[in-house]
Chains A and B, each alone.
Chain A
Amino acid sequence: MERDDLVQDHKYSISANHDEAHGIEIRKKIWKVTGILTLITVVEVLIGAFIKQYDATGGDNALWPYVKIGFLVLTVVKAAYIVLVFMHLGDERKSFKWVILAPYILFILYLIFICLTESSYWHEVFQGADSINP
């Protein structure tokens, strides 16, 4: 049976091929992003090793909430580089980019919101002032 879908496939796939000159440019970008990702990981580990969640008496470190937000930002930056450069989503058509990103971002933001709201409530129930624990 003739596979009429493959004809179109070949067209897109072959048009994705590039020559050596173009390849040098792409490889340069790849190495640059590799450097950035490695640097971010090193920074994350150094922060994790030197800034503690607690102070000398075991109390909370006042700096920690900012470190936490910093970790989240660095993680999202890393994720963006992987998705947009390594997975080439940045090179796809704008419409396709949003078909992939928009539903995911929308859904995951809702999920995070609802889980944090609910777990804050449960935290209050278990450990709050009017806790169910005696």
Chain B
Amino acid sequence: MAGHTENISTSELWGGDGSPFRISYGKQWMWMFLVSDALTFGGLLTAYGFARHSAPSWPIGEETFNAMPFLGTGYPLLYVALMTFILIVSSVTMVLAVEAAHRLDKKGVIKWLLLTVIGGFFFVGSQAWEWYHFIHGSHFGSILTADGWAVVDFNEANEMVLRMGRGLTVVGAEAATLYENATASMQGANLIENEYAPLVPQYANFFFFITGFHGFHVFSGVVFNLIILINVVKGVYDKRGHYEMVEKVGLYWHFVDLVWVFVFTFFYLL
């Protein structure tokens, strides 16, 4: 590492007084990596915007994502709001770990970093559930009626309800007639078709790719945090005199939270 720097006089570079940014090499390049990673996510989300803006119709987030574990459907956006909250909290525990690190408070760092790792696992688990539910699909799937695609459901009086999208429903005998004459059906989602937006199959592709890429980042972040946590416990950073590694993985972890803030807005809210 840095083995060929003997011949360069630092005084000729910038007065020999370290980095002009007053920031360490590692932290600076973590930032540079995050900028390039942010451009990747920016590209993915603008591509999503491109597809959505040029498509004839697009599913509405709160109609697609309205299920809660153990409770069934009818809870628009509640589960994803919970996921967002989990990720924000784990970002807070991370920044508290960094603060403890600046006081060289080993016990504090261990406590907050451990909570961050647990929060990360919770988020990855939540995403796995979300994916499972998305792939599996709604209980009865979608059918193609004379009036277009509709999600099949039943109300409390056990009458058939066809949800035609945009809040419109057809109930009872009329729904049954449409159901009898349906020409196609679909359940769940894959890369070729999906019941949430039968006319725009790329909807599911974007969902899988963007949330999957983000989930992969979360998973990597949990692994990084775990490695640093083990090092903290072993006392590696006590010997070094500073806990900057905690700060560096912290930057990455906050970035993952930052990306989710945008995914949440563009995929679920808008």
> Is the CB–CB distance between B22 and A71 below 8 Å?
no
Chain A residues lying within 8 Å of B18, measured Cβ to Cβ, are: 8, 11-12
The interface residues of chain B lying within 8 Å CB-to-CB of A42 are: 81
The answer on a CB contact under 8 Å between B167 and A56 is yes
Residues of A within 8 A of B39 (CB): 104, 107-108
User: In the complex where A12-B22, A58-B166, A116-B53 touch, is A82 in contact with B103 (Cβ < 8 A)?
Assistant: no
A72 within 8 A of B: yes
Would B42 and A45 count as touching, CB distance under 8 A?
Answer: no
Mark interface residues in B233-244 (1 if CB within 8 Å of A CB, else 0).
Answer: 000000011101
Interfacial chain B residues near A57, Cβ < 8 Å = 168
Q: Tell me, in angstroms, the Cα distance from A16 to B52 when the chains sit together.
A: 45
Residues on the A chain within 8 Å of B165, using CB: 58
* Chain B residue at minimal CB-CB distance from A30: B95
A129 contacts partner chain B, Cβ-Cβ < 8 Å: no
- In residues 7-65 of chain A, which contact B (Cβ within 8 Å)? 8-14, 16-20, 23, 26-27, 30, 34, 37-38, 41-42, 44-45, 48-49, 52-54, 56-58
A10-B241, A49-B76, A93-B23 as given contacts; A75 in contact with B2, CB under 8 Å? no
Contact A93 B21 (CB under 8 A): yes
Residues of B within 8 A of A17 (CB): 102-104, 242
Which residues of B sit under 8 angstroms from A34, Cβ to Cβ? 88-89, 92
Give the size of the chain A interface in residues (CB under 8 angstroms).
68
B264 contact set on A, CB distance < 8 A: 44, 75
A108 neighbours in B (Cβ, 8 Å): 39, 42, 46
Whether the pair B50, A126 counts as a contact (CB closer than 8 A) is: no
Asked if A120 and B53 sit within 8 Å, CB to CB, the answer is yes
Q: Is the CB of A82 within 8 A of B244?
A: no
Chain A binder among B127-135, B224-232, B254-262? B254-262
A75's contact among B20, B26, B241, B265, by CB below 8 Å, is which? B265
Contacts of B78 in A (CB 8 A): 45
B22 CB contact (under 8 Å) in A10, A56, A93: A93
Whether A75 and B262, one on each chain, are in contact in the complex, defined by CB atoms closer than 8 angstroms, is yes
Chain B: CB-nearest residue to A121 = B54
Main secondary structure of the interface of A (DSSP, over half): helix
A104→B38 contact, CB < 8 A: yes
B69 to chain A, nearest CB (A): 17
Contact assessment for B35 and A9 in the assembled complex, using a CB-CB cutoff below 8 Å: no
Least CB distance, B95 to chain A, in whole angstroms:
5
* Chain B residues, CB < 8 A from A100: 31, 35
Would A23 and B92 count as touching, CB distance under 8 A?
no
Please provide the chain B residues from 1 to 59 with a CB less than 8 Å away from any CB of chain A in the complex: 1-3, 5, 18-28, 31, 35, 38-39, 42-43, 46-47, 49-56
Interface string of B97-116 (1 = CB under 8 A from A): 01110111000000000000
Shortest CB-to-CB span from B196 to chain A, Å, is 15
Are A53's CB and B166's CB within 8 A? yes
Q: Nearest 8 CB-CB pairs, A to B?
A: A119-B53, A122-B54, A13-B242, A54-B166, A96-B21, A119-B54, A13-B244, A9-B24
Residues of A within 8 A of B (CB): 1, 3-5, 8-14, 16-20, 23, 26-27, 30, 34, 37-38, 41-42, 44-45, 48-49, 52-54, 56-58, 68, 71-72, 75, 78-79, 82-83, 85-88, 92-93, 95-96, 99-100, 103-104, 107-108, 111-112, 115-116, 118-120, 122-123, 126-127
